[in-house]
Amino acid sequence: MDIARTPSTPDGNPYLADAAPEPKAPPEIRREDYAPFPWLIPATRLEFELGLETTRVTATLEIERNPDADRSPTIRLNGDGLSLVELHCDEEPCTGHMMDGDDLIVTLEGDNHVLRIVTEIDPGANSQLMGLYASNGMLCTQCEAEGFRRITFFPDRPDVLSVYTVRMDAPEEQFPVLLSNGNRTGTGKDKGGMHWAVWHDPWPKPSYLFALVAGDLVAREDCFTTMSGKDVDLAIWVRKDDLPRTAHAMESLKRSMTWDEETFGREYDLDVFNIVAVGDFNMGAMENKGLNVFNTKYVLADEETATDGDFDAIEGVIGHEYFHNWSGNRITCRDWFQLSLKEGFTVLRDQLFSQDMHSEAVKRIEDVRVLRSVQFPEDSGPLAHPIRPDSYREISNFYTSTIYNKGAEVIRMMRSMAGPERFRKGTDLYFERHDGEAATCEDFVRAIEEGAELDLDHFRLWYSQAGTPRVKVALTHEGDTASLALSQEVPPTPGQSEKRPMPIPLRIALFDRATGKSEGEELVMLDSAETTLRFDGFAEKPVLSINRGFTAPVRIEREIVREDLAFLARNDDDPFARSEAMQDLVVGHLLEAADGSPAEGASEAIAGALGEILKDDAIDDLMRGELMMLPGVTYLMDQVLLADPGRIFAAREALKADLGTRLEKELEALHERASAVPFSHDPEAKGARKVGTMALTYLAASDPQRAADLAAAQYDSADNMTDRQGALMVLSGIDSAARSDRLLDFYDRFEGNALVIDKWFSLQASSLHPDVIEHVKTLADHPDFTLRNPNRARSLYMAFTGTPQGFHAASGEGYRMIADLILELDPINAQTAARFVPALGRWRRIEEGRAALMREQLQRIADAPKLSRDTYEQVTRSLG
């Protein structure tokens, strides 16, 4: 795969109203305990009588004993808050049943049965947005990971595959469009304004891929012809006013379908493919078979309301969910421990797709930035886990960057070792061997191993060991030989104190100092604790470029002089490595400056390297914008054992101001040049918009009022959201009249457009303004703010957690604000609430004073009664 306040006591704390027992830890689920389900369900028929307040669900399950499982006298059907109305077995009322918590246990004596189960649910009251719920008058579902049990009683696990037939009956005026998985096989009208539709999905699927949507929607329609000549009807369903903003999503879908055929040989397998955009959604999107349900954020776009980044994200997420048709749907997970089987592989597929559609180099840098800012801290904190976990208590907490992003990097390493052609042979074998099955990560690795002819026995450690390997690098020179000493250490993580060396592929190149050239790169393997490689033919010590293209998700630790980093920042022919050299140059200086001991001449060297980047005509503006970016505060904090966010933030801002002053003329000229480029979606225009705003950020640090004037002018003349939002981002951090005027204009211009107003909240909550805490408090009381919509809650508070001067305020007020949010949000939407906990959970890596304040807030959350399983697990693991 993404509010009306809770009634509370006079002091605003809903948890003080009623005393309750301490929350009980949810049971631990262990991978080693997996056993096949004792029953098969070849066919499932669902009949829905739809209503916003009451929906009746009749489930008819054809069941038979599983010959590969232990025989059981009962069948456990998972439920969650369901009201059981009727239960029949083989057309007779069933008396041999009991409830075990929320689950229904039915006693069955024979080998084949038909169960008929009638339940009633209230979609309108479902604020958790799991199962069947209401969203602004429409009905939709979200069933991954365990939402189907909120619809009807069923063995809600991914290895129970069934063929679904779905009938929906609903008032036609209220729900004119009725959609489900598969192909529509019938429609009709009944008396009293009712109508119905029947959908049949011929491909067996697990319950988490079930989907239903009913509402007043319109569609952008198109058609795609597959490589075998089959015509597929495409439709993107939205509310009427949103239809004009779906063209980009449709084009992205067709590009995805073409790319998957050409690159992986995967052809679509139904007559129709539907996408529905939903305003209330916990995740980004969901790959339900033939009926993808999307957060509106990843469907709706036009130049007036969406940035270049939004357009790219929509294309990537559309591709991701479509690619799941094979890597997730046709081959699904045996159990939730195998989640990276589908998510890691599909993230790699969407990354490769986006690389092919745009700039491969820029996309790679962007993907690594996300990995380092989110997954690396996760891997070094209390929530660290392998990409194939050994246990969990609440599966929704394992939809993590480790599963998705690190999982993709692990599979990318296999591709790097095999090469694209041999890797394709491995994936072909995987799809052929496991089509229609619930598979495991081991099944995937074995297919790549055999198809690509690789020995991956040692490589399997990447699936079982948590933590980011640290690779120490030392280059020496004697005579005409350069010697490269490599060693590795995998740090201890919760539950894994001892680690084995990992196989680490590294692309390297050695550059001649005189010519600035290398003789090409090679792939070397570090597959032991340490090794030394020798390279002949170097009259003087070369300059090493290592982990080019970020071949492996590791931390490189090396002693390298500032002059060599500046050399690589100017000369490296690998775009990622060039960006890395610039980042390393800056990181070294900022950490020294934050520690109070900046090296003499460091800022001059950085300014010199950046000046070369600004005037290098061989670099396009998209790459120039990447090279201009300073490392984020979160990444910088992750480079030290105990970070002081205040000092790191101050050092970063001081460097920005220094660079803005030293390069003022060049930056103003760059902004002026960029502003003159007419709007288009081509790379040159996108790059111009990118560097124009980057120039403003430096000027804002060195001369805020001058930058405010330039930003206000950019805002006023903008004919697209990218320039307008970039200008407002800069203005949001400056205390000026232009700030207030443009924020008000932005709100008035886009009032009623939920996605753009989300931007308005985020821009203020993530700003560098010293009063950001007070701004967030004021915004939380804004009439447009609600905790019941995950996008809106994240737009304010998740943005705020990234502010070092706000969230990490020395007073601890930022920590208290997020803890208050978690306690208020948890009973409304537990999944969304739990995702805010990791920001507080990194207290072990923060200096002592702030760490104590963070831990205090975690303990306050843990002590609250009635916590959800999601939040309880995250908090207790964070506390340790």
Domain 332-464: which topology?
Neutral Protease; domain 2 (1.10.390)
Which residues does 673 contact at the CB level (< 8 Å), separation at least 6? 688
Q: What is the pLDDT of residue 1?
A: 66
Task: Name the residue among 105, 106, 118, 114 with its Cα closest to residue 63.
Answer: 114
Concerning whether 321 is annotated as a catalytic residue, the answer is: yes
Q: What is the pLDDT of residue 681?
A: 97
> Which CATH code for domain 470-559?
2.60.40.1840
CA angle 788, 790, 791 (to 5 degrees): 125
CA atoms of 375 and 407, how far apart (whole Å): 10
Q: What is the pLDDT of residue 820?
A: 98
Task: Name the residue among 420, 370, 685, 391 with its Cα closest to residue 553.
Answer: 370
Cβ(127)–Cβ(281) below 8 Å: no
Residue with tokens 């502003």: 675
CA atoms of 725 and 546, how far apart (whole Å): 36
Residue with tokens 């303004």: 769
CATH of the domain spanning 1-33+751-880, picked from 3.40.50.300, 3.40.1280.10, 1.25.50.10, 3.40.190.10: 1.25.50.10
Q: What is the pLDDT of residue 10?
A: 29
Residue with tokens 């002693």: 559
Tell me: cis bond preceding 674? Omega within 30 of 0 counts.
Answer: no
What is the maximal distance between C-alpha atoms in the chain?
94
Give the C-alpha distances (Å, rounded to integers) separating 811 from 11, 540, 817.
Answer: 21, 54, 12
3-state secondary structure 304-347: CCCCHHHHHHHHHHHHHHHHCCCECCCEEECCHHHHHHHHHHHH
Task: Name the residue among 184, 165, 185 with its Cα closest to residue 235.
Answer: 184
Q: What is the pLDDT of residue 12?
A: 32
pLDDT along the chain (880 residues), means of 10: 32 31 72 98 98 98 98 97 97 95 96 98 98 98 98 98 98 98 98 97 98 98 98 98 98 98 98 98 98 98 98 98 98 98 98 98 98 97 97 95 98 98 98 98 98 98 98 97 98 96 98 94 97 96 98 97 94 96 96 94 94 95 97 96 97 98 98 98 98 98 97 98 98 96 98 98 98 98 98 98 98 98 98 98 97 98 96 96
Please report, for the chain, the start and end positions of each structural domain, with discontinuous segments joined by +. 1-33+751-880, 38-216, 332-464, 470-559
- Of the residues 144, 287, 321, 378, only one is catalytic, namely 321
Q: What is the pLDDT of residue 14?
A: 28
Instruction: Say if 332-464 and 470-559 have the same CATH topology.
Output: no
Structure tokens at 164: 């679904």
> Which CATH code for domain 38-216?
2.60.40.1730
